[in-house]
Chain A
Amino acid sequence: MNFQLPDLTPMIPELSMTAFALMVLLLDLLIKKKEVVALISIAGVALVSLTLFGPSGTTFGTMFISDGYSTFFKIIFFVNVILSILISIKYIAVEKINYGEYYSLMLFSTIGMMIMASAGDLIVLYLGLELMALSTYVLAGFNRHDIKSNEAALKYFLLGAFSSAFLLYGISIIYGLTGTTDLRAIASFISARDLTDNFSLLLSIIFLTVAFGFKIAAAPFHMWAPDVYEGAPTSITAFMSVGPKAAGFAVLGRVFMIAFASVKADWAAILIPIAILTMAIGNIVALSQTNIKRMLAYSSIAHAGYALLGIITANNEGLASMMNYLMIYAFMNIGAFAVIIMLRSEGFKGDSIYDYEGLSKTHPLAAVLMLIFMFSLTGIPPTAGFIGKLYLFVSAINAGYTWLVVVAVIFSAISAYFYLRIIMYMYMREPKTTVTLTTSFSNGIALGITTAAVLLIGILPSYLLDLAKAAIKGF
């Protein structure tokens, strides 16, 4: 029996990222200043991103797919990890959790997401998901002397492990039904046997929806999100409100659009109520939150509901607008967290929305930045958030889901209350507590990048959408 090494060129980004993350783990032993480790990590991610545009194709049989779709998602993950590291550097020193493992865990989590985006087989999908999840559990509990952080990690871990058991059971049913775990082979089996309304297939679709619903924090599988987002270190909240969510959408799109392509009606019937419930719970419960991290957690649940519209449309236009939306969401959400992080200083938590009262008087620049991100999250032009929502809703209307878009717009209008309340506090209240901002050069860069991206995409939207549409071709 001779062993042939598979063609490794399509997975150069993953391989180099893995080598790099291991190197960062080792360098942590030698380098005393952890800021240097952070800079090396950023430089490494930037270097690896150059290899993203290398040869595409499938390798390891059909287990690993590198195509435009996966590359676009990998760009989102890289944006996410670079911005999250930038906002972490000062913050983790303030929190006294300045350890080098932090950065390598972020990189490992990113590798997991990359593998998820490229998975052409349910086994690979599961492994990528676990690599991402296990690293994120640790990161959520990274502030190990803070009981809130411990609690966040415990809740995330228990519910994450619970959901991955559901994923596996779903996989085992599909395997029993079709005799394979390869996405395209599953698709051809389902369409050849015409398994519409098949009970086992429906059961497995439900199990997979539960598992992916946990990852993207869609209601009714969102219960972990508020507690975890509140308890985890703020930089990690930013990281995992974008990365694992985008990765969840990547696999949701790939599995449902390829493997279950011929039973669209079945899974759309499951996803539509989930999307409505997600938008409802996210937007309505956020109204009563007084902790800004918790409020943004509910906001991120609501945004998952909007993005689900892109999957429900079940065509390339919908997927492209979903990818476009997730990229925009990465910028505006991390931007908002970059402002929140500045309010945290030695002995001051700064995560209550009342800490923002009168911020425009004491720190006008921070207030303006927060204003931009809140406008963008609400979806007010000329910010990127408006463009993202517009394309999502247009694609849903084109696919014939006008009533669903009406529902989404109503919930989107409700969301204006809690986003604009922050702005109201900043501009129309007198400062009660004196807030000192923890500024740093790296956080400034992150804020600069996110603000520029939010405004530029808002003014020149076609470029990003064309990129997403080009990426989805041949999907």
Chain B
Amino acid sequence: MVPLSWYMLLSIIVFAIGVFGFLARRNVIIMFMSIELMLNAVNINLIALSHYLQDMRGQILAFFVIAVAAAEAAIGLAIIIALFRNKATAHVDEIKEMQG
């Protein structure tokens, strides 16, 4: 049986990769994928904990996270497409209408 700490370590690593990707990459789509990675890190954590605590709440929350992430993806991609129609770029350094 795999110990709980391994799952939690995996979750931390995936979450850290997501945070790093969000902060370091400059392509909107990749930043968005990094956020999804962070959410899935949370899901790993929740489901592992749920299994070891023998409690259903974690799995219920994981389902909600998946559902909300799907809604979030729909809205995020819609916003990116709306932006792309006005300015054909997906690079955040070129999206700088407002500064100061």
Contacts and interface: CB of A to CB of B under 8 A. Distances in A.
Given A161-B76, A176-B49, A181-B61, A141 B82 contact: yes
Q: Chain B: interface secondary structure?
A: helix
B35 A161 contact: yes
Contact of B95 (A154, A291, A294): A154
A151 interface: yes
Given A158-B28, A175-B57, A130 B98 contact: no
B17 interface: no
Given A134-B71, A172-B45, A150 B86 contact: yes
Contacts of B58: 172, 175
Most chain A Cβ neighbours within 10 Å, of B80, B98, B100: B98
B75 A138 contact: yes
A123 B49 CA distance: 15
A227 to B, nearest CB: 5
A123 B68 contact: no
B64 interface: yes
A154 B61 contact: no
Contacts of B32: 158, 161
A150 B80 CA distance: 8
B64 A123 contact: yes
Contacts of B39: 165, 168
Q: Chain A: interface secondary structure?
A: helix
B61 A123 contact: yes
A157 B79 contact: yes
B61 A169 contact: no
Contact of B72 (A126, A134, A141, A153): A134
Nearest to A147: B86
Contacts of A176: 8, 45, 49, 53
Interface string A271-306: 000000000000000001101001000000000000
A461 interface: no
Interface string A307-337: 0000000000000000000000000000000
B97 A171 contact: no
Given A126-B61, A148-B98, A153-B82, A168 B42 contact: yes
Nearest to A143: B82
Nearest to B87: A147
A137 interface: yes
B25 to A, nearest CB: 11
Interface string B66-90: 0010011001101110110111000
Contacts of A157: 75-76, 79
Contacts of B98: 148, 151-152, 226-227, 230-231, 294
Contacts of B86: 145-147, 150
A273 to B, nearest CB: 22
Interface string B31-49: 1100100110110011001
Given A151-B96, A181-B61, A230-B98, 15 more contacts: A123-B60, A130-B68, A151-B95, A154-B79, A158-B22, A158-B76, A161-B72, A165-B42, A168-B39, A171-B42, A172-B45, A173-B45, A175-B53, A175-B57, A176-B45
Interface of A: 122-123, 126-127, 130, 134, 137-138, 141, 144-148, 150-154, 157-158, 161-162, 165, 168-169, 171-173, 175-176, 179-181, 226-227, 230-231, 288-289, 291, 294
30 contacts: A126-B64, A127-B64, A130-B71, A137-B76, A137-B79, A145-B86, A146-B86, A148-B98, A150-B87, A151-B97, A151-B98, A153-B79, A153-B83, A154-B80, A157-B75, A158-B22, A158-B28, A161-B32, A161-B76, A165-B18, A165-B38, A169-B38, A169-B45, A172-B45, A175-B57, A175-B61, A176-B53, A179-B55, A181-B61, A231-B97
